Amino acid sequence: MIPKNFKDRVIAPSLLAADFSRIGDEVSRAIHSGADWMHMDVMDGHFVDNISFGPAVIQTVHESNDIFLDVHLMISRPDHYLSRFIAAGSDLITVHVEAEHDVAETLGRIREAGCQAGLAINPATPLKAAEPFLDQIDLLLCMTVVPGFGGQAFMPEVLEKIEAAAKFRETNGLSYHVEVDGGIDAVTAARCFAAGANVMVAGSSTFRAPDMAAAIRSIRNS
């Protein structure tokens, strides 16, 4: 699946909030509920204080379902592990500007492999840290919580950064998506859409909603 235009709204449920005892069924449920992408949070217990899953889970989802895989590497050495996530079937790979690697080189390797390239910045990281690389990416992920654990409250102070990222994109004639992740539901999504983001990562508010399809519609239409 080719990523949508950055002006289109994209809903990407986060697998981290799914029932891990039935991952394949959960991904299918998300697809049938209207999900555009599947967001995959990879955590190494070092870059963030949590451990989630690795390439094997991504490969399982890739082989069992047909959905665009938005893989977010919250790991210290994305350059070292990159080839494994490419081989697993990732469609878009996002790495952190704060991680221990040559950012430009890693982004180049992602694109050379035929994947979309994303760059993530934590709430405390200024947009300026990402600016040298914004012409090399397909997506900018502005974390709206401190990364590591699901279920955190949305941080409204990040909205200013989202607005700045959208303005930088327009001023420089770029076309990257602006994605947000953390505390996203229909209410906070509306604020993020208004600020210039178009990709909404939503975990608890989708997978754990009584009606996942209704939850996804409410986020998309907020």
> Is 19 a catalytic site residue?
no
List the structure tokens of 133.
Answer: 């690389």
Residues whose CB is less than 8 angstroms from the CB of residue 86 and which lie 6 or more positions away in sequence, other chains included: 93, 110, 113, 115
Active-site annotation holder among 36, 79, 91, 181:
181
Asked if residue 114 lies in contact with residue 82, where contact means CB atoms within 8 angstroms, the answer is no
Eight-class DSSP state of 221: T
Angle at 77 between CA 87 and CA 4, to 5 degrees: 55
Neighbours of 171 (CB within 10 A): 8
SS3 155: coil
Asked if residue 163 lies in contact with residue 201, where contact means CB atoms within 8 angstroms, the answer is no
What is the signed CA dihedral for 129, 130, 133, 136, rounded to 10 degrees?
170
In residues, how long is the chain?
A: 222
Active-site annotation holder among 36, 41, 44, 70:
41
Asked if residue 196 lies in contact with residue 167, where contact means CB atoms within 8 angstroms, the answer is yes
Asked if residue 7 lies in contact with residue 177, where contact means CB atoms within 8 angstroms, the answer is no
Neighbours of 119 (CB within 10 A): 23
> Is 41 a catalytic site residue?
yes
Show which residues are catalytic.
41, 181
